């Protein structure tokens, strides 16, 4: 598989924010979001080729329970990702896979927790979404919306209601920095009584990767 980098940090997002975990960032992404914070990882030739065994060996000790496979877009290399998820599961470790939403999640190993990033209009990539991915959601999975403005918020709020996402998975709304302040999103959520989580990138506030 093509690996851009591996590192250990605190999970900055999702319902597991604050949990120490290892990260495996794969190279290559078909999208070009307006707020992309790892543009170098979009290049499918970035990083280096590694086997599953090499990736597992590169992870630091002591081993942690949770890992996240991110990108780039991991599901461009779904066979390798599934082999890695299987190897980690055999070692008693648990895996999150963060996906951009434009690539089918149907073939992902069921042992992985999906973190599905739904692209809003402000991302510039909403038309690239594979909407069938919403039909594959399970209660263990999570749906993440990155918002650039009020229009994105209203669009996301409408989609959550239309697809009844709160009944099917954890839903998170977060601001795209520097376009939108976290406090503004918090105020909107409180005013609407919307039962989603505010998603903050706490690792960035701590100066962590």
Q: Model pTM?
A: 0.95
State pLDDT tens for residues 25-58: 999 999 999 999 899 999 999 999 999 999 999 9
In CATH, what number does 2-205 get?
Answer: 3.20.20.70
Taking only the tens place, the pLDDT of each residue in 178-208 is 899 999 999 999 999 999 999 998 888 888 8
CB atoms within 10 A of CB 110: 10
Query: Where along the chain do its domains lie?
Result: 2-205
Q: CA-to-CA distance for 152 and 158, rounded, in angstroms? A: 10
């Amino acid at each position: 598989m093509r690996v851009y980098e591996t590192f250990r940090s605190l999970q900055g997002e999702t319902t597991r924010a604050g949990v120490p975990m290892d990260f495996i960032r794969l190279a290559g992404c078909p999208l070009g979001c307006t707020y992309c914070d790892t543009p170098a990882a979009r290049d499918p030739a970035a990083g280096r080729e590694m086997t599953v065994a090499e990736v597992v060996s590169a992870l630091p000790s002591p081993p942690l329970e949770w890992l996240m496979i991110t990108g780039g877009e991991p599901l461009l290399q779904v066979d390798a990702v599934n082999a890695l998820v299987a190897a980690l599961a055999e070692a008693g470790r648990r895996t999150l896979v963060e996906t951009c939403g434009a690539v089918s999640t149907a073939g992902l190993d069921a042992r992985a927790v999906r973190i599905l990033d739904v692209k809003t209009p402000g991302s510039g990539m909403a038309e690239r979404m594979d909407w069938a991915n919403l039909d594959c959601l399970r209660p263990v999975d999570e749906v993440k919306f990155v918002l650039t403005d009020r229009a994105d918020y209203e669009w996301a709020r409408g989609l959550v209601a239309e697809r009844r996402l709160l009944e099917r998975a954890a839903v998170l709304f977060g601001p795209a920095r520097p376009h939108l302040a976290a406090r503004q999103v918090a105020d909107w959520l409180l005013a609407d009584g919307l039962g989603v989580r505010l998603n903050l990138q706490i690792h960035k506030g701590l100066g962590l990767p």
